[in-house]
Amino acid sequence: MEMAAISSSPRTVEEIFKDYSARRAGIVRALTYDVDEFYATCDPEKENLCLYGHPNETWEVTLPAEEVPPELPEPALGINFARDGMHRRDWLSLVAVHTDSWLLAVAFYFGARLNRNERKRLFSMINELPTVFEVVTERKHVKDKPNVDNGNKSRSSTKRTNDGQAKSTPRVYDESYAEEEDEHGETLCGSCGGNYSGDEFWIGCDICERWYHGKCVKITPAKAESIKQYKCPSCSTKKGRP
């Protein structure tokens, strides 16, 4: 296989995740469907070899890039040297672990210019997929479920002012704390009535506890970070209670 050239660097969260998924697919193929070919290619008599996954979902075992520094972070070097010194399954698992690290390194190399919330969303999307190690070792990918204290669809925390009074931070609908989308099908936007979608930013009103698309109430993830207590448009227009 020939080294696939990088035509353009992915820049958005979606583009970087697509690149990650494609490279991961190539790696998974090498360590599962094409495992005999991959094993034979990693001859310990050869020089230091690396396993690459490419954006076109192919894989390649080859020498590391000659330029310093390389265009992308480098995979683990010399994976072929340990091939005959370990049980095949253990060796494949070791390669899988190092490859997971490389895939994350490449994704966050591309994501270096993303802002905090975009990086968080990127990792959350990546974390929804089983790791290569989990695929190779046939381990189940278990998703964390929200803590009871956090409720079934929110992450909230409490800050205290200098006078000791508690203030709650806005509850942001974060996919890293949410379960599968079909389990939140009953959650509707208080503004447009649309269903919950894990790839959209949501924010919860601390007064009426209804949820809203960030775009519907004109709140961005960055703006939400600075809000002490969020009041939806409806609650903001209501007169104070006696």
H/E segment holding residue 159: strand 158-160
How confident is the model at residue 148, as a pLDDT?
Answer: 37
How confident is the model at residue 53, as a pLDDT?
Answer: 96
Q: Which amino acid is at 44?
A: P
Rounded Cα distance, 220 and 170, in Å: 12
Name which residue leads in pLDDT, 189 or 127: 127
pLDDT band at 120 (very low <50, low <70, confident <90, very high): very high
Average of per-residue pLDDT across 32-40: 95
What the block records as the tokens of 167 is 């203030």
* Confidence (pTM): 0.57
DSSP string, 46-79: SS--EEEE-TTS-EEEEPPPSSSS-SS----S-T
pLDDT band at 147 (very low <50, low <70, confident <90, very high): very low
pLDDT digits (tens, 9 = 90+) for 47-76: 999 999 999 999 999 999 888 888 899 999
How confident is the model at residue 110, as a pLDDT?
Answer: 94
pLDDT digits (tens, 9 = 90+) for 73-88: 999 999 999 999 899 9
Count H helices, E strands: the chain?
7, 7
CA within 13 Å, CB half, 72 = 28
Residues 6+ apart with CB under 8 A from 151: none
How confident is the model at residue 220, as a pLDDT?
Answer: 86
Please determine, for residue 152, whether its predicted confidence score (pLDDT) is greater than 90: no
Please determine, for residue 240, whether its predicted confidence score (pLDDT) is greater than 70: no
Name which residue leads in pLDDT, 234 or 132: 132
pLDDT band at 8 (very low <50, low <70, confident <90, very high): low
